[in-house]
Amino acid sequence: MTKVLLIYLVSSFLALNQASLISRCDLAQVLQLEDLDGFEGYSLSDWLCLAFVESKFNISKINENADGSFDYGLFQINGHYWCNDYKSHSENICHMDCQDLLNPNLLAGIHCAKRIVSGARGMNNWVEWRLHCSGRPLSYWLTGCRLG
């Protein structure tokens, strides 16, 4: 119940402020509640670094890639492989509309990201994570966050 309430409160706060950014510590709380700390061997700091280097914590970010595909949401999940954006053929591995990845409650994006990370390449699926997060000390991402 606490988990659902926190996610509801965070998404309500974002909706009320018409903001598309989530704070680092609010995101850390949601990710912790969704059991991402240690998921497939990745820490909360890995997930925070991923979200920052991909979207700067912007939940509603959409980016067009050089190949014409689009990346969506906090984790910049690609519409050609993981979700359906109805712009071109999609493998839609996460079985969702890409617009769902822009939802302030974050659950669709988290569930799809978990599916991506569960694959053989893990977080190496994200080039920016490989370049800016992998193999680096990341504990500072949790500095000042009060996690339960």
Is 85 labeled as catalytic in the residue annotation? no
Identity of the amino acid at 69: S
The catalytic position among 34, 46, 71, 100 is 71
Is 71 labeled as catalytic in the residue annotation? yes
Q: Which regions of 44-86 does DSSP assign to beta strands (E)?
A: 62-64, 70-72, 77-78
The catalytic position among 34, 46, 54, 85 is 54
- 118 phi, psi to nearest 5 deg: -70, -15
- Cα separation of 78 and 69, whole Å? 7
Task: Output the CA–CA distances (angstroms, integers) from residue 132 to 19, 49, 111, 123, 137, in the order listed.
Answer: 26, 8, 23, 12, 10
Which residues are catalytic, by number? 54, 71
